[in-house]
Chains A and B, each alone.
Chain A
Amino acid sequence: MSLLEIKNLHASINGKEILKGVDLTINKGEVHAIMGPNGNGKSTLASIIAGRDTFDVTQGEILYEGKNLFELSVEQRAAEGIFLGFQYPVEIPGVSIANFMKTAINEQRKYKGLDPMPSMEFMKLMEKQKKIVDLDTKLASRSVNEGFSGGEKKKNEIFQMAMLHPRLSILDETDSGLDIDALRVVASGVNALRSPEVSTILITHYQRLLDYIVPDFVHVLFEGKIVRTGPRELALELEEKGYEWLR
């Protein structure tokens, strides 16, 4: 069984159709890159999978491990293993990263019928996963994303992913706004978490991210549809020719 199956997905916002019949299947352990020009539905697709309710799904379905994803709340999807790395991570003044993560982990555990994680175990996990993305130790006691630089915010997304070890990670333009060093750190974080049990969707504009995280498939989302799917080399071709030739 596929991990995620998107079938003929149509979605609109304020009556404007953004997704016009997306089909996509993702199996366990695969890394898929979704590329395409701005405003063609990449982030909309990511948001719909994570459960944001600002979009109206007008047609089609998404199955996650065979279950209808639309019947799960945002937090249930997270507990079932879906993680969205935000393009614009949200600042939450007054809530420390440590508290945020502890609450998230324990609520996910509660959903699965598990007891809360013992504090010591949690602290050890934090220490371990901070290293993956080279996250400053002091950041953990600070409020979530408050006053973080662009690079720190994106590192924090990957750190959270490492803490929650999802089965499907959707990274929405995690590379945007990163300098090359930060990009390397983020990419090596993602690679460190890669396993046959973990699937990843990378949403990106640039093929340079794919130099660091090598995808199994590249898809082009153009005018609300996936118009082309190919191997890693497709990204190079896109870089060279742009998107217009796909029209």
Chain B
Amino acid sequence: MDNFKKAIRPKEEDFEDFSCHLTQLKTYRIHQYNGFFFERNDNEVLLDKNIIICSIRSAMENHKSIFNSTKNLQPLSSDEDGLFIYIPRNTTLDTPLQILNVIKTFEPLKIEAKTLIIVGENSHLKLIYCDDTVNDNLSKTESKISVVLEKDSSLEYYKMENINNLSSIFTDSNFVLDTNCELKTFWLSINGGDIKNKLSVALDGQYARADLNGLYMVDRDQVVDNQVSVSHNQPNCHSNQLYKGILDDSAKAQFKGHIYVSQNAPYTEAIQNNRNILLTDKAVVNTQPFLEIYNDDVKCAHGATIGQLDQGAMFYMRSRGISERSAKMLLMFAFCTEILSKASIEELVDTLQDIIKRRLHGELSSCENCVLLCSTPCGTSDVDFI
């Protein structure tokens, strides 16, 4: 099995500018190719704002002071490299940053990607991170992301996973929030042979808030595993987990949601929800809430459901003349889009809704190019979604 070759840095001339046709949405694009960061012409707006986007190695050489002054930063070993993003204090970036990790290979390839993001005090960032395979060859990606939010900062983070059915991706993401920080994540596992997401959020300052949303759509023999862990380490923090999944054919999903409330964290509010729809008898979901609470003055709730589409709603819709297939589509689409209700980038939500529709229609089984190509309206479908 282990005939995977470790990815080496593609040559500069091999780099293709995989243009991402996210037509309605302007982003500042950052390129990774098989996990390697490719430096492109710097954008003037980003330069003006003193935003640093470079390799981790060059950051360690040229911006030592950042590493010394940022608390909550995990130590890096000297041989580590990857992508480094630094948003200085008091910076608001209206246009989202987008990291586009393009995976392209002609032989079984093992890819490692590392990203370190620091959002400075009172700064506000929106970031879209996409992993896309652009051909149908086997790959195995391990992606590590560390994000540090300094006090009073916020981050809206979108993670899109759309890889081919042979490929696997394992992301290990760590977010550390200081006082009064706000994190919103939208984790969309659109397609992939084997997807594993480990998400850890540490609420290390008072009044920090984390809103973690996830959607997985799997079919055939695909496997998706989400392990979400939130640590309430300080008083007055809020967290909310909402993960939803639709499973077709013999797909398997696992959800493990961990809420940890430290003895030092009174007035915690933590909610966790995992809801699943199984479209067949063969699809399997394992869902496992795990609450570890060491303080009495907390509000915690968790819930998990595994079910089929609501038969009462199906009959109601059909009794109005809507075909069984369309009724299913509408219900599944409605189920999925709840995840996006708190997303603030409207144009992106429109595009993501298109992607969800196409996925539900079975048109997205394997992407030939960047998933965000599919921002065209869903003209071929029977159901005209509004």
A111-B321 contact in complex given A94-B333, A94-B337, A94-B338, C-beta closer than 8 Å: yes
Nearest Cβ in chain B — how far from A108, in angstroms? 4
A92-B333 contact in complex given A75-B324, A106-B384, A107-B322, C-beta closer than 8 Å: no
Q: Are B318 and A75 in contact (CB-based, < 8 A)?
A: yes
Q: Are B316 and A164 in contact (CB-based, < 8 A)?
A: no
A95-B330 contact in complex given A90-B316, A103-B384, C-beta closer than 8 Å: yes
Query: In chain A, what residue has the closest Cβ to B312?
Result: A90
Q: Are A104 and B320 in contact (CB-based, < 8 A)?
A: yes
A79 within 8 A of B: yes
Nearest Cβ in chain B — how far from A97, in angstroms? 10
The 0/1 profile, CB within 8 Å of B marked 1, for residues 97-139 of chain A is: 0111111111110010000100000000000000000000000
* In the complex, chain A residues whose CB is within 8 Å of the CB of B331: 92, 95
8 Å CB contact of B384 from A78, A93, A102, A143: A102
Judged by DSSP, the binding face of A is helix
The 0/1 profile, CB within 8 Å of A marked 1, for residues 303-315 of chain B is: 0000000101101
Query: In chain B, what residue has the closest Cβ to A109?
Result: B321
* In the complex, chain B residues whose CB is within 8 Å of the CB of A44: none
Name B210-257 residues within 8 Å CB distance of A: none
A206 within 8 A of B: no
B383 within 8 A of A: yes
A94-B334 contact in complex given A75-B321, A104-B321, A160-B320, C-beta closer than 8 Å: yes
Nearest Cβ in chain A — how far from B384, in angstroms? 7
* In the complex, chain A residues whose CB is within 8 Å of the CB of B385: 99
Query: In chain B, what residue has the closest Cβ to A94?
Result: B334
Q: How far is it, in angstroms, between the C-alpha of A101 and the C-alpha of B313 when the chains are bound?
A: 14
* In the complex, chain B residues whose CB is within 8 Å of the CB of A116: 384
Q: How far is it, in angstroms, between the C-alpha of A160 and the C-alpha of B313 when the chains are bound?
A: 15
Q: Are A86 and B321 in contact (CB-based, < 8 A)?
A: no
Q: Are B320 and A95 in contact (CB-based, < 8 A)?
A: no
A50 within 8 A of B: yes
Nearest Cβ in chain A — how far from B98, in angstroms? 27
Q: Which A residues fall within an 8 A CB radius of B? A: 50-52, 73-75, 77-79, 83-84, 86, 89-96, 98-108, 111, 116, 143, 160, 164
Ranked nearest first, the 8 interchain pairs of A and B with the lowest CB-CB distance are A94-B334, A78-B321, A104-B320, A74-B318, A108-B321, A90-B316, A99-B386, A75-B318
Apart from A78-B319, A86-B316, A93-B334, what are 16 other A-B pairs with CB-CB below 8 Å? A73-B324, A74-B319, A75-B318, A75-B319, A75-B323, A79-B321, A89-B316, A90-B310, A92-B331, A95-B334, A100-B330, A103-B326, A103-B383, A104-B320, A107-B323, A143-B334
27 A-B residue pairings within 8 Å (CB atoms): A50-B319, A51-B319, A52-B315, A73-B318, A74-B315, A74-B318, A74-B319, A75-B319, A77-B319, A78-B321, A79-B321, A83-B320, A89-B316, A90-B312, A90-B313, A94-B333, A95-B334, A99-B386, A100-B330, A102-B386, A103-B322, A104-B320, A104-B321, A106-B384, A111-B321, A143-B334, A164-B321
